[in-house]
């Protein structure tokens, strides 16, 4: 491979078939466990409306600018994140150190998939649990026990993690058009249909208004500094930015597509899905007199309790977890892409083999996360350091990726695009003119880095 050829995929014609195909793929990546699992529970924990407003501001100030920059870098480099950053440092005449953006991205996406797959496996397992009717009429102890029982069983978690990874490998291994695009074209419409069904169902509970006012009437007395930081961190996670995933997807983006406009549609749809997920979940929680601030167990414990009490709970519970599963799969395939793209280019192995080799390595590392919930629950590798006390392998990986590699990657991407690249590159790729361009550059150069730096330092201290 020649490291200086940019736009390799453009030349080979190996691209998304249309702007819409790219949008669906990117929305598929963005919409994931973050929207359906995490957003509702952090909104619940942080008191609702005011948190949602801050989150929307973070999407605008940090999320959209980094998303535009990352897709732009991807298309301009036209190869895997590692190779794209390598060539761009040459063609843009910048310091070689920026190449770390590519490596940071590939390693982080590798690591994040290793644990994302384990949680995706929970979703898989819950489709079956809900369909079996085990939640019907069950009490809080039984439902909490089912969740705890699943986590305690190494065999169960390993099985679901393996099935989940196998699905991801199969899709990615078939290539951009025949694998990813095909799967996404089926899964994304399904996701939207399921989501609308769930919101419609939530409207029949009689507690929809309560959910709307919980999510949209801001009460700033409930907002803490920590809440603001959570909102910012989540804005990055939910848009899949900072770790090369959007860069990898951008490398297959046809030249004629306007990146700024496309990125805004992606962010809008991702945010829309998160809000709709909240509107699907909170009415059920309120209708059953349950607690919106229940934390990570909100959808695996609180929600099944609600389904177990409601008419139609069997069907809607099953559909809900199917929705979660679909969202997780379309995100997971995007995490494998930077690794596969690199293996294909750099090691010259076929797409299918790259997916298999990369996927198996990730699966293997994922076993560390599986064990973190049972056999290794008391194994705290860095326990000697006060800060890491009590953290399992899974906690450490999550911390490393979500609190270090993603924000640092996002920061570096904003700085590279805002300060290091030549004006020509931005003009060719971004698709903004006049005042819009200046406004965008101002945000990207100053506000975005400042925003990320604040969260990053706070998280660290
Ligand atoms: N955005 C995905 C979600 O919300 C997670 C993700 C992060 C996907 C990073 C790709 C890269 O679940």
Per-residue pLDDT of the chain (461 residues; tens, 9 = 90+): 334 456 788 888 889 999 999 999 999 999 999 999 999 999 998 999 999 999 999 999 999 999 999 999 999 999 999 999 999 999 999 999 999 999 999 999 999 999 999 999 999 999 999 999 999 999 989 999 999 999 999 999 999 999 999 999 999 999 999 999 999 999 999 999 999 999 999 999 889 999 999 999 999 999 988 888 889 889 999 999 999 999 999 999 999 999 999 999 999 999 999 999 999 999 999 998 888 988 878 899 989 999 998 889 999 999 999 999 999 999 999 999 999 999 999 888 999 999 999 999 999 999 999 999 999 999 999 988 877 888 999 999 998 998 889 999 999 999 999 999 999 989 889 989 999 999 999 999 999 999 999 877 877 77
CA-wise closest residue to 387 among 308, 460, 306:
460
Question: How many Cα atoms occupy the beta-carbon half-sphere of 39 within 13 Å?
Answer: 32
Measure 119 CA to ligand 1 centroid, in angstroms. Answer: 12
Residue 87 in contact with ligand 1 by CB distance below 6 A: no
Q: Is the CB of 240 under 6 A from ligand 1?
A: yes
Which atom number of ligand 1 is nearest to the Cα of residue 109? 11
CA of 432 to the centre of ligand 1 (A): 26
Distance of alpha carbon 224 from alpha carbon 283, whole angstroms: 25
Cα(433) to centroid(ligand 1), Å: 30
DSSP 8-class letter at 224:
-
First to last CA, the chain: 43
* Ligand 1 binding pocket includes 322 (Cβ within 6 Å): no
In this structure, is the dihedral angle defined by the CA atoms of residues 305, 309, 315 and 316, taken in order, positive or negative?
negative
Domains and CATH numbers, the chain: 19-459 (1.10.4160)
- Taking the C-alpha atoms of residue 350 and residue 245, their distance in angstroms, rounded to an integer, is 20
Cα–Cα dist 182/174, whole Å: 10
CB 110 within 8 A of CB 454: no
Residue nearest atom 10 of ligand 1, based on CA coordinates: 240
Q: Count CB atoms within 10 A of the CB of residue 169.
A: 25
> What is the spatial distance between Cα 338 and Cα 358, in angstroms, rounded to a whole number?
10
CB 87 within 8 A of CB 346: no
The residues near 105 (Cβ < 8 Å, ≥ 6 apart) are 81, 82, 242, 243, 244, 245, 247, 338, 409
**Pocket of ligand 1 contains residue 402 by CB under 6 Å:** no
Ligand 1 pocket residue status of 117, Cβ below 6 Å: no
């Amino acid at each position: 491979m020649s490291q200086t050829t940019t736009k390799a995929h453009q030349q080979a014609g190996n691209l998304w078939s249309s702007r819409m195909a790219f949008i669906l793929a990117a929305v598929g990546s963005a919409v994931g466990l973050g929207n359906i699992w995490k957003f509702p529970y952090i909104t619940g924990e942080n008191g609702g409306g005011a948190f949602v407003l801050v989150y929307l501001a973070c999407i605008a100030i940090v999320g959209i600018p980094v998303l535009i920059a990352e897709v732009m870098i991807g298309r301009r480099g036209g190869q895997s994140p590692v190779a794209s950053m390598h060539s761009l440092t040459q063609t843009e005449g910048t310091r070689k150190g920026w190449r770390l953006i590519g490596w940071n991205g590939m390693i982080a996406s590798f690591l994040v998939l290793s644990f994302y797959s384990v949680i995706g496996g929970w979703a898989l397992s819950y489709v079956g649990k809900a369909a079996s009717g085990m939640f019907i009429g069950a009490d809080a102890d039984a439902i909490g026990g089912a969740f705890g029982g699943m986590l305690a069983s190494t065999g169960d978690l390993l099985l679901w993690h393996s099935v989940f990874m196998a699905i991801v490998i199969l899709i990615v291994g078939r290539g951009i058009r025949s694998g990813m695009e095909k799967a996404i074209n089926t899964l994304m419409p399904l996701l939207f249909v399921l989501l609308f069904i769930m919101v419609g169902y939530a409207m029949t509970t009689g507690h929809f208004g309560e959910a709307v006012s919980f999510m949209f009437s801001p009460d700033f007395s409930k907002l803490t500094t920590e809440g603001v930081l959570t909102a910012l961190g989540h804005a990055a996670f939910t848009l899949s930015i900072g770790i090369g995933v959007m860069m990898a997807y951008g490398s297959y983006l046809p030249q004629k597509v306007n990146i700024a406009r496309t990125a805004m549609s992606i962010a809008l749809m991702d945010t829309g899905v998160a809000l709709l997920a909240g509107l699907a979940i909170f009415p059920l929680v309120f209708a059953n007199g349950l607690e919106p601030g229940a934390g990570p167990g909100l959808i695996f414990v609180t929600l099944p309790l609600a389904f177990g009490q409601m008419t139609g709970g069997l069907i809607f519970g099953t559909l809900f977890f199917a929705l979660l599963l679909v969202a997780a799969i379309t995100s997971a395939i995007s995490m494998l892409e930077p690794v596969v793209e690199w293996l294909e280019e750099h090691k010259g192995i076929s797409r299918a083999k790259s997916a298999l080799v990369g996927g198996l390595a990730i699966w293997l590392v994922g076993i560390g996360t599986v064990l973190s919930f049972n056999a290794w629950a008391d194994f705290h590798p860095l326990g000697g350091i006060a800060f890491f006390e009590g953290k399992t392998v899974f906690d450490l990986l999550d911390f490393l990726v979500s609190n270090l590699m993603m924000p640092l990657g996002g920061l570096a991407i904003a700085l590279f695009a805002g300060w290091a690249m030549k004006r020509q590159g931005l003009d060719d790729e971004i698709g903004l003119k006049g005042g819009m361009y200046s406004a965008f550059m101002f945000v990207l150069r100053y506000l975005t880095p400042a925003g990320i730096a604040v969260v990053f330092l706070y998280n660290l201290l």
